[in-house]
A and B are shown apart, each in its own frame.
Chain A
Amino acid sequence: MAMKALDIYKHLPKTNCKRCGYPTCLAFAMKLAIGKADIEACPDLDPDTKTLLGGVTRPLVRLVEVGAGERSIAVGEEFVLFRHEKTFYHPPGIMVQVSDAWSEDEVRSVVETVKETVVHRVGQDLVLNGVAVKYESNRPDRFAEAVALSGGGSSLPLALIADDPAAFEAALAAAGQYRPLVHAATEENWEALTALAKRYGCPLAVRAAGPAELAVLAVKCAEAGVPDLVLDPAPLSLSDFIATATEIRRAAVGRTEPALGYPLYLDAGAFGETDAALAAGILKYAGIIVTLPLSPASRGAALTLRQNIYTDPQKPIQVMPGIYPINEPGPAAPVLLTVNFSLTYFTLLGYLEASRIPCYLFIADTEGLSVLTAVAGGKLTETLVADSLKKFGVAELVDHRFLVIPGYAAPLSGKIEDATGWKVLVGPRDAADLPGYLEKEWKA
């Protein structure tokens, strides 16, 4: 079970020596309590206390970094089982698989696609994260060449997928300094692979069928000196993955089995249903997902699903405030005031685009609150509306002075007229009624 900060503090030396990197022992204790500090950072604890505190303060799900440099990915460090409980923090790294049995051109083309794919959605750039090189040639030198061809990890994080230590020897000699993920240590080869991962300081995937076997193997690898592990539960099917991943995540965040407190690995190509596997991995706790090359359609949908699931539920995606032309409006088009809550925006956008009525959507910054909440909480005010009208130069866009406000903002209509000098029309409460309302009521 987790320990409170004050209980942890009782075991610390209380010298406030700062050598752990925190200003006081209490500050260190508070970080330990939420799994964000490592007990090993304290130089004065005896081994017994370290073991005691280590068991209760280690991160619930360890943060593991794959790759080096700008595009490296960090996965793990999650705290909950469901996104509505808090949020999910570290989106899974999606790595596209190539084979060392492929031609140079085939490998290069996938690497370029991964490097260059960017999907822009609501102010974010969504990207694929890396390349997974699979050992299929049975020639270690060829494996090393394919790894070098994939950039060696210098620009994109790599995963090296093999079972033969000799292949890893060759590949790591070429790319070991860029922290590629080594996949995978098994009951048969873990000693050799742990030694290699330790020598190069690389993260190591551990593969075993089921949580109990994984825990045993993870402990062996960690004790042999590789702290950065990723767990591959070797699922038999997609539903087996969902069930096992849920069990592992539950054990980790409940601290019932600390040896399962690592990010998970999923091979999305293993079941012949890559899209379903990608979705399952994104939804249910995968930290690293290796996939076969994706069509542009699948890529866009997968990256968007990942963005959705890793959106902070307490802080919805906000739309940039401003003036948004819809259906190519002219100077006579209506101006529709709304808020920058993304769901409101998307709902309105859907109905307005479908209606084909040209208009300007005028989005005020209500810090992501919906109309109802923004009006009730005083975030949508006449001053904000007046300032935003000026800031976005709305008066220059249209030759009329009518502003349609949302039905729920009706109480503000008089105040907005006074503050802006624009004539206010109160629109409907429901976005679905807006096209009908405009058809009937809009005569600028």
Chain B
Amino acid sequence: MTEKSDERMAIREVRLGATQAEGGTREVSCVIGGERSLPFSERTPGRLLVALEICDDPRFWPPVVRDYVGDLANNTDEWARAAERTYGADLVRLNFTSTKQRGFNAFDAIAATTEAVLAATARPLIVEGSNEPELDSEVFRRCGEAGEGERLLLGTAEADRYRSVAAAALAYGHAVIAQSPIDVNLAKQLNILLRETGVPQDRIVIDPYTGALGYGFEYTYSVMERIRLAALSGDADLAMPMISAPTDTLSVREVREAAPADREAMAVAWEFYTAYAAFVAGASIVCVRHPLTVERLKKALEV
């Protein structure tokens, strides 16, 4: 095999975060991707990353996590600091859940929170902007601008709403999460749309949308394997690293209906199994919400 065709069949590398030398303020930046074969068949230490998700409005966050983190939930930058320093996450994913409330217009707070969280953490940051298409353009502009030069991973671009996030990524030099609903062809289509918008291929991370364990996870698992196989056999439009966020696992029936004393263990087990399986299927970054899951995943990736 020539070096050239070898090159063609590798997963693209995506760099997240920018150090001072790279124009940002991060202590470290991360490179994901670069694999040339199936997950876990080659040792790529440091390239499988665990992100802990936090939010700016805990009313829209799973109770089982709020119970565990206590007061941290009301202080976004302290929560971010703990995610990295106390819980050992490789990355922090900041969700602007405040945009879910009716009549949201606190756009200034978006920029301020982004800046505070960037100051509180030394590692690359993932920012999940708004959940409301009407707010997208303003929210992404604000958090994108606040993180200029830091090479954030901005989410989430979807087939019917990707322009605002793509514009913010282009304007301020960030990478983008491209999410499509559990389908190889839709994932590919969205990547092509983003490319046409001008987002460079090495700044796209595929999110195949992760169903919860027992609630559609089998589809996720197979679609991730298929995306990875297509990329390795030369499909450049799918040759991006993947991110998986099994956000629904903490609200499945088994967790909600567990006895109060068992709920935490159930939530962590459910989240862990889903997250670890996502790594085996090909995810480079897995985002979880329970701090205890982070520690277990980090240990599991080391053995």
Binding site for B on A (CB under 8 A): 82-84, 121, 237-239, 242-243, 246, 271-273, 275-276, 279-280, 283-284, 295-298, 300-302, 304-305, 307-309, 311, 313, 316, 342-343, 346-347, 349-350, 353-354
Contacts and interface: CB of A to CB of B under 8 A. Distances in A.
Which of under 10, 10 to 19, 20 to 34, or 35 or more describes the interface residues of B? 35 or more
Contact of A301 (B211, B218, B269, B299): B269
Contact of A279 (B212, B216, B253, B277): B277
Contacts of A297: 258, 262, 265-266, 268-270
Contacts of B4: none
B226 interface: yes
Contacts of A243: 40-41
A82 to B, nearest CB: 5
A121 B248 CA distance: 17
B254 interface: yes
Contacts of B300: 238, 273, 275-276
Nearest to B182: A343
Contacts of A304: 213-214, 254, 273
Interface string B36-50: 001111010000000
Contacts of A84: 222, 225-226
29 contacts: A82-B222, A82-B229, A242-B39, A242-B41, A243-B41, A275-B276, A276-B296, A279-B277, A280-B280, A283-B281, A284-B280, A295-B269, A296-B266, A297-B266, A297-B269, A300-B266, A300-B269, A301-B270, A301-B273, A304-B213, A304-B214, A305-B277, A308-B217, A308-B221, A311-B218, A347-B216, A349-B253, A350-B251, A353-B253
B219 interface: yes
B265 A308 contact: no
A272 B43 CA distance: 20
Nearest to A305: B273
A313 B222 contact: yes
B277 A273 contact: no
B265 to A, nearest CB: 4
A369 to B, nearest CB: 14
B272 interface: yes
Given A238-B300, A297-B266, A313 B218 contact: yes
Contacts of B215: 343, 346-347, 350
9 pairs of A and B residues whose beta carbons are closest in the complex: A276-B300, A297-B269, A308-B218, A242-B40, A346-B215, A297-B265, A84-B222, A301-B273, A304-B214
Contacts of A309: 218, 221
A317 to B, nearest CB: 8
A344 B272 CA distance: 24
B225 A346 contact: no
Given A239-B303, A350-B252, 4 more contacts: A239-B43, A305-B273, A308-B214, A343-B211
A65 B39 CA distance: 31
A272 B262 contact: no
B76 to A, nearest CB: 23
Nearest to A238: B303
A275 B218 contact: no
Nearest to A240: B40
A354 B262 contact: no
Given A305-B273, A347-B216, A279 B280 contact: yes
Contact of B214 (A271, A275, A307, A316): A307
A272 B303 contact: yes
B291 to A, nearest CB: 16
Contacts of B214: 121, 304, 307-308
A142 B40 CA distance: 41
Contacts of B270: 297, 300-301
A42 B86 CA distance: 67
B111 to A, nearest CB: 28
